[in-house]
Amino acid sequence: MSYYLVTIAVYFAVDAMACVALNLQFGVAGVINFGFILFQATGAYVAAVLSLPKDTAHNGFQQYVLGLHLPFPYPWLAAILVSGLLALPIGLVVLRRLRNDLQAISLIVTSVIATLIVTNSTPFLNGAAGVALVPAPFAGHMSPTGTPYEWLYIGVAFACAVLVLLFATRLTYSPYGRTLRAIRENEDAAGALGKHVYARKVVIFVVGGALGGLSGAVLVGYIGFWAPSAWLYPETIILVAAIIVGGRGNHLGAVLGALLVPLGFEEVTRFIPQFGTSGLTPAIEWVVIGSLILGFLWFRPRGVIPETRRVFGPTRDG
């Protein structure tokens, strides 16, 4: 039970970071990024291969590039950097001269292409088998199987989540963030006011990608394993559902959505007795998630915690 609760806590911190990062892109700037999981996966892979020793260390049972065996926090910092750098060329291509719906299609296709490349290129990141035996970040200082280590990891994961939340909130309510929300509401009007729409969307796309990479690094450091099956495009749909349920554009709502959908909903369904064919229960789960999205979009489109809006109107004297 102790290990289960620790796992729940770490996953909540990871999902919260991912939802806040995606909310910056989708909720604040209006970029419908259905390929977000690609950046979380990039952070996980980078942190893994920088933490692992050479691929010959374990009798060569798995193949991967690098294997630099770097100590914490360098793999996590590299995960942030590389994920952001990967988001830059993708954003420069996808966000230029494409409507929002075409951007969404392009990003999900990019994610699928990346999954196929990693799956079918074994020397790169061990193909479909993925990378395993990723060293725990603080294993050199204490045993990764003890209770003190578990509490330390929870503390570090939550500290990262709080820093991401504070950074995203500060950015959103800054003049730059207000410009992003103006772009989300009406790109033409924002452009007419002299705002460089394209550049600002690319920047927030890179920032969201970098924060997504951090969430992947925290996750792989805890579970010690990462494979293509962990970052298929439906995982992004779950994060989008969390933002819609929690409150698009509101980062506290995104955190609440992470608690309700990726964590709460999926954990509750684990206790449902299996019935029918082997794949029936997971299929029903996706039907319920889809219904949840449609229900909130129809009946409460602003989510459980709506985005805070400033209303400017006549003063009491006017």
Residue 318 has pLDDT above 50, yes or no: no
For 70, the 3-state DSSP assignment is: coil
pLDDT band at 139 (very low <50, low <70, confident <90, very high): confident
Count CB-CB contacts under 10 A for residue 255. Answer: 26
If pLDDT is split at 50, 70 and 90, which confidence band does 279 have? low
Please give the distance of CA 12 from its chain centroid, rounded to a whole number: 12
- pTM attached to this predicted model: 0.91
Most confident range (mean pLDDT) of 82-86, 100-104, 181-185, 306-310 is 82-86
Could you tell me if 245 and 259 are in contact, meaning their C-beta atoms sit under 8 angstroms apart?
Answer: no
Alpha helices of the chain — where are they, by DSSP H? 2-23, 37-51, 74-94, 100-119, 122-125, 147-172, 175-185, 187-192, 197-223, 234-246, 251-258, 266-269, 280-299
- Higher pLDDT: 237 or 285? It is 237
Write down the mean pLDDT value for the chain: 88
